[in-house]
Chains A and B, each alone.
Chain A
Amino acid sequence: MVYIDWQLSFVANFFMLFAILQMHRYFLNSFNIGHLISDVTVSLIFGYIGLFVDDIFILLFVCFILLCNWLWNKGKKLDMQKSISLVMAANFETVLFSLATYTARIIFFVALNEWKLQILEEFQQNFILVSILINAIYIILFLLLANFYRAATVKLWIQVEQYHLGKRVFTMSFSVFVAFMVILLISDLQSVTATLQAIILVVFTVIITLTYRQLIFFVKTIAIQRQAQAKVIYNKQLNDYLTSVRQQYTDLRKFKHDFQNIMLSMKTFVDQSDSKELKQYYQDIVQSQAKLLPTDSGNIAQAQVIDSDMIRGILIQKFFLARNQGINFQLELTKDNYHFTNDILIIVRILGILLDNAFEYVQTIDEKNVTCAITQDDNITEITVDNPVKGSLNFKDFFQTGYTTKENHTGFGLSNTRRLISETDNLYLETKIIHGHLLMTLIIVGGD
């Protein structure tokens, strides 16, 4: 062992504790005069205590501050962010300090070309100063490195908070810290040789690094797992909602159907009647029918019968887009189940392009209706996007790059569609104008 003058020892202790606190402040980004004064005071007190109790004083110091934090919060709960930051700072600083001491030793041994501990005692004043200097350099390097990963660390911390992992992370880092302290204490008590202690420290440093890496991995895994769980719950809620909307939609539809039939049948009796009031009243009802029976916006709920998340997803997404643009987007699905297996990515892309084109076109005319119909039977699926059109189109040029029915529009969408279809063997596109509507149909062969 090296016996060092108590004043020097005190300076070293003070520096170490002060560095821990400053690193802690750096992590939390909370530097101010008040903190600085209290930091200096606490470091001085525990630096002095350190003269009597060996390396364990760092543990006492950390515990004391944790206790203060706890009391400060009126014993409710430990502030996880502060506690973790402190324990981590303590961890890093202890390791860095030990490394600095050993670096200094090696420098001295090499400089004097004499491998004896006695020289350290002889040069103890220089030795301690050099150690502290090297430690300071290490800290600066470490903080530069930490700054580089600041954004990632903040993100990680947000995940830790979001998924309430603070307690686990704290337990983990605190255990590592205690273990480290125990090693230092035992090696001091047992007078383990410097070389052995150095090896233990190096191994321990490696273990700390690995532990923290593992910790990051663990947090990320938990985050992904929780996100997946949240998504499942969200999907279930959305499905429940869609089911109820669909039920209401079906009921409304049935009522409208019956109502219109009754009205039509009643016409005969109204015609036969002599009452002018009755005829007038009937006329009024017929005329206000549109207002009495609102158009069905719950129609999108039908999308549930499509088993592909991606295809259902793009339809729902486009439905909301259409609603924002004041476009009436209707789905026509006549089966209870639509099954998609092949080329889903390409289908989704083409469907997106066709719907976007339809939306863009109807914005230029009065009748803002877009319909998407899907039929599926005998190994053939047809997805049709239907919008009203004015004027005629030249079909042969329709899919050339740049062809468009709209002004100020580049029209690359359609040539992209053409290219996407040519990539596969089982997709076909049909474009048709009938009864003043443009129908673009994607025909998918096979897969079901």
Chain B
Amino acid sequence: MFPVYLLEDNSIQRQKYVEFIQNGILINDANLELKSTSDSVEKFYQDYVPKEQGLYFLDMEIRDDKFAGLNIAEKIRKDDPMAQIVFITTHDELSLTTLERKIAPMDYILKNKGLDEIKHRITDDIEMAQNNLQKYSHSSKNLLDYKIGSRYFSIMMDDVIMLYTQKDVPGRIFIVTKNQLAEFSGSLNTFETDYPSLFRCNRSYLVNLDNATTYDSHSRTLSFIDNSTCEVSFRKSKELTRLLSKKKN
């Protein structure tokens, strides 16, 4: 059972949300339970178990603390990169872009859309959280981590398409995922060792074969789901053909 947390300081709204959450769990037959309902930051931390995977419904502004929800979410995210976080808030409290950068929440529910919409969204989010939590609970090496300065970034391994380096920018690794392009300082060799599931197809490319689509062994070109391609070195071509046929079976 994964825990569900709710933080909302308005008592009437809180009662409604409790009702919606319990309903949503029933409808989806989800492996979740509403473990904690809090009206203050203190109460939330009393119930909070760090590093425990779960689903969090948070209001942003709690008792005149404009960033209470954000601060809690930051803490949760730090403890568990896979935590499923949903903000229920009024539109003006939302700094959407900041939230996306700091928390990357699963969803934002806007209060001014009305209670019916909130109910609907809570039910949907419970379903999605249930799927995500189950998908990522059984394997441990499902995240690719890197560091810029003092900040750690995590990317789901499923999303990773390739890591590559460029001659004109030595010491930089570029990472392409299904929905982003990022860069950081490091060496591909380290990542090749740390993440054996990735395939080194030439000196400057480390790719995720799960996201590869086709391989043309004549031109030694490997294509990926985002239509990007990479050249495979002569030496690695055989190994790649073997790996791909193994994957098919």
Contact = CB atoms under 8 A, between A and B. Distances in A.
Contacts of A263: 112
Contacts of B149: 378-380, 426, 443, 445-446
B181 A398 contact: yes
Interface string B12-23: 110010000000
A257 B90 contact: yes
Given A332-B95, A428-B183, A422 B13 contact: no
A431 B162 CA distance: 15
A375 B12 contact: no
A265 B115 CA distance: 10
Nearest to B95: A332
A375 B180 CA distance: 19
A401 interface: no
Contact of B70 (A334, A397, A435): A334
Contacts of B227: 394
A264 B13 contact: yes
A394 B16 CA distance: 43
Interface in B59-76: 61, 67, 70
A186 B112 CA distance: 94
B148 A428 contact: yes
Nearest to A268: B12
Contact of B90 (A256, A286, A395, A439): A256
Interface string B93-134: 101111011101000000110110000000000000000000
B181 A264 contact: no
A375 B184 CA distance: 18
Contact of B150 (A260, A286, A380, A429): A380
A440 to B, nearest CB: 10
Nearest to B183: A428
Interface residues of B, number: 42
Interface string A384-425: 101000001011111000000000000000000000001001
Nearest to B166: A422
B181 A382 contact: no
A325 B176 CA distance: 33
A308 B181 CA distance: 29
B42 interface: no
A280 interface: no
A430 B183 contact: yes
Contact of A384 (B97, B112, B150): B97
A50 to B, nearest CB: 81
B112 A371 contact: no
Which 3 pairs, one residue from A and one from B, show the smallest C-beta to C-beta distance? Answer: A445-B149, A432-B180, A395-B181
Interface of B: 10, 12-13, 16, 61, 67, 70, 90-93, 95-98, 100-102, 104, 111-112, 114-115, 148-151, 162, 168-169, 172, 176, 179-185, 226-228
Given A261-B111, A439-B100, 18 more contacts: A257-B61, A257-B90, A261-B90, A264-B10, A373-B97, A378-B151, A379-B149, A384-B100, A386-B96, A386-B97, A386-B100, A394-B227, A396-B228, A425-B185, A432-B181, A434-B180, A443-B148, A445-B149
